[in-house]
Copies of this chain bind each other. A is one copy, B any other.
Amino acid sequence: MTRSILEAVVVASHEVSMLTGDRIAAVLAEQGLTPATAQALWLIDPDEAPPSMKTMAHRLFCNAPNLSFITNQLVEREFVERSVDPADRRSRVLTLTESGRRARATVIAATLALTPFARLSPEDLRELMKLLRKTLEPADQETGGPAAATGEIQG
């Protein structure tokens, strides 16, 4: 039985992810970040409203206790601050500190420099993004999944 195109796509896409993680490992270590904390940091956009723990758990596909654990590390490293949401005092919102913003920018810059996708031409990237958008859009509607990865973009 030979391999379908779908299987080849899944395997290749996974390979890109693993390769990327492998390549940025040294940069994360320099910043005092682990893969999990780096990912959490990435998903806090300093230009948007501070996300709640619930929102972050959703974005990270992890459960609440796990996010508490990750957040503790980020707070300890002084990359984020927990504060009570005045609108709902059960909820805690996460805001980046100044060094958190710097670390986040470093992680993103390193990733974009080292990702295998960086080899693609702008035209190929646009085509790839079109396909990824098509891949994710129906899924989000269907599952009510995390915030779409396909937000505002500037070529």
Interface set of A (CB-CB < 8 Å, partner B): 2-22, 42, 60-61, 108, 111-112, 115-120, 122, 124-129, 131-136, 138-139, 145-146, 149-155
Contact = CB atoms under 8 A, between A and B. Distances in A.
Number of copies: 2
Given A112-B10, A125-B6, A21 B149 contact: no
Contacts of A124: 131, 134
Contacts of A60: 18
A113 to B, nearest CB: 10
Contact of A20 (B10, B12, B20, B133): B10
Instruction: Name the residue among A3, A10, A112 with the largest chain B CB count within 10 angstroms.
Output: A10
The DSSP consensus for interface residues of chain A is helix
User: Which of A9, A131, A150 lies at the interface centre, i.e. has the most chain B CB atoms within 10 A of its CB?
Assistant: A9
A150 B8 CA distance: 7
A61 B19 CA distance: 8
A105 to B, nearest CB: 9
Contacts of A126: 5
